[in-house]
Structure 1
Amino acid sequence: NCSQTRCCNCRQTFAAFYSCCCFQTCLYFLRLLQFSVAVCFCPSASVALTHFPPCRSLQCQKLGDAVCPLLVFVNPKSGGLKGRELLHSFRKLLNPHQVFDITNGGPLAGLHAFREVPRFRVLVCGGDGTVGWVLGVLETVRHKLVCREPPIGIVPLGTGNDLARILRWGPGYGGDDPHHILASVDEADEVQMDRWTILMTAIIKNVRHPELQMNNYFGLGIDAELSLDFHLAREGEPDKFTSRFHNKGVYVKVGLQKISRSRSLHKELQLQVDKQPVPLPNIEGLIFINIPSWGSGADLWGSEADGRFSRPRIDDGLLEVVGVTGVVHMGQVQSGLRCGIRIAQGSYIRLIVSKELPVQVDGEPWLQAPGHIIISALCSHRPTGRQTQDEGSTSC
Structure 2
Amino acid sequence: MYGFIVNQASGNGRGNRVWKKVEKIVKEENKPFLVRFTKGPRHATKIAKELSAHSLQAVVVIGGDGTINEVATALAYTQIPLGVIPAGSGNDFARCLGIPLQYRKALLRVFSHDQKKVDLLHLGQRYCLTVTGVGFDGKVAQIANGAKYKNWLNHFGLGGLSYVVSMLEVLRTYQPTKISLTVNGEKFTLSDVWLVAVANAPNYAGGISICPQAVNNDGLLNICIVHGLTKWGLLRLFLRAYNGTHVLHRNVRILTGKEVYIQSDKPVLVQSDGEIISESPIRMEIKEGALNVV
Q: Give TM-score scaled by structure 2 length.
A: 0.81
Q: RMSD over aligned Cα, in angstroms?
A: 2.9
Q: How far 1:333 sits from its partner (Å)?
A: 0.5
Q: Are 1:82 and 2:22 an aligned pair?
A: no
* 3-state SS in 2 of match to 1:345: strand
Aligned to 1:162: 92
- The separation in 2 between residues aligned to 1:257 and 1:122, in whole angstroms, is 38
Q: How far 1:352 sits from its partner (Å)?
A: 2.3
Pairwise mapping of residues 36-115 of structure 1 onto structure 2 (< 5 A)? 69-92=1-24, 93-94=26-27, 98-103=34-39, 105-109=43-47, 111-115=49-53
Aligned to 1:226: 140
Give CA-to-partner distance per residue, 1:252-286, whole Å, 9 cap, x none.
22222344556333x2x211001111233643111
Q: How far 1:212 sits from its partner (Å)?
A: 2.5
Pairwise mapping of residues 361-376 of structure 1 onto structure 2 (< 5 A)? 361-365=272-276, 368=279, 372-376=281-285
- The separation in 1 between residues aligned to 2:173 and 2:240, in whole angstroms, is 17
Give CA-to-partner distance per residue, 1:294-323, whole Å, 9 cap, x none.
2322322335xxxxxxxx431222111102
Q: Which has the higher contact order (CA 8 A, sep 6+)?
A: 2
Q: Which runs of 5+ in 1 are unaligned?
A: 1-68, 143-147, 200-210, 304-311, 385-396
Q: How far 1:288 sits from its partner (Å)?
A: 0.5
* 3-state SS in 2 of match to 1:81: helix
Q: Are 1:136 and 2:81 an aligned pair?
A: no
- The separation in 1 between residues aligned to 2:122 and 2:196, in whole angstroms, is 17
Q: Are 1:194 and 2:119 an aligned pair?
A: yes
Aligned to 1:295: 205
Residue 366 and residue 194 in structure 1: after superposition, are their counterparts in 2 closer, same or farther (change >3 A)? closer
| 8 Å Cα contact 1:78-1:158 kept in structure 2 | yes
Q: How far 1:374 sits from its partner (Å)?
A: 1.5
Which of the two has greater helix per residue? 2
- The separation in 1 between residues aligned to 2:181 and 2:236, in whole angstroms, is 24
- The separation in 1 between residues aligned to 2:174 and 2:246, in whole angstroms, is 20
Residue 351 and residue 244 in structure 1: after superposition, are their counterparts in 2 closer, same or farther (change >3 A)? farther
Residue 331 and residue 124 in structure 1: after superposition, are their counterparts in 2 closer, same or farther (change >3 A)? same
Q: Which amino acid aligns with 1:373?
A: I
Q: Are 1:286 and 2:196 an aligned pair?
A: yes
Residue 365 and residue 280 in structure 1: after superposition, are their counterparts in 2 closer, same or farther (change >3 A)? same
| 8 Å Cα contact 1:159-1:244 kept in structure 2 | no
Which of these residues, 59, 63, 76, is aligned with residue 122 of structure 1? 59
Residue 116 and residue 81 in structure 1: after superposition, are their counterparts in 2 closer, same or farther (change >3 A)? closer
| 8 Å Cα contact 1:280-1:343 kept in structure 2 | no
| 8 Å Cα contact 1:87-1:101 kept in structure 2 | no
Residue 272 and residue 113 in structure 1: after superposition, are their counterparts in 2 closer, same or farther (change >3 A)? closer
Residue 216 and residue 244 in structure 1: after superposition, are their counterparts in 2 closer, same or farther (change >3 A)? farther
Give CA-to-partner distance per residue, 1:364-393, whole Å, 9 cap, x none.
12662x6x4211234521112xxxxxxxxx
Residue 242 and residue 111 in structure 1: after superposition, are their counterparts in 2 closer, same or farther (change >3 A)? same
Q: Are 1:354 and 2:265 an aligned pair?
A: yes
* 3-state SS in 1 of match to 2:11: coil
Q: Which runs of 5+ in 2 are unaligned?
A: 228-233
Which stretch shifts more, 331-340 or 282-291? 331-340
Q: Are 1:243 and 2:155 an aligned pair?
A: yes
Which of these residues, 297, 310, 334, is aligned with residue 242 of structure 2? 334
Q: How far 1:290 sits from its partner (Å)?
A: 0.6
Structure exhibiting the larger radius of gyration computed from Cα positions: 1
- The separation in 2 between residues aligned to 1:114 and 1:272, in whole angstroms, is 37
- The separation in 1 between residues aligned to 2:168 and 2:48, in whole angstroms, is 42
Residue 71 and residue 333 in structure 1: after superposition, are their counterparts in 2 closer, same or farther (change >3 A)? same
Q: Are 1:149 and 2:87 an aligned pair?
A: no
Residue 89 and residue 258 in structure 1: after superposition, are their counterparts in 2 closer, same or farther (change >3 A)? closer
Q: How far 1:356 sits from its partner (Å)?
A: 2.1
Residue correspondences, number: 278
Q: Give TM-score scaled by structure 1 length.
A: 0.62
Residue 155 and residue 132 in structure 1: after superposition, are their counterparts in 2 closer, same or farther (change >3 A)? same
- The separation in 2 between residues aligned to 1:81 and 1:222, in whole angstroms, is 28
| 8 Å Cα contact 2:203-2:212 kept in structure 1 | no
Residue 188 and residue 243 in structure 1: after superposition, are their counterparts in 2 closer, same or farther (change >3 A)? farther
Aligned to 1:12: none
Query: Identity over aligned residues, as a percent?
Result: 22
* 3-state SS in 1 of match to 2:256: strand
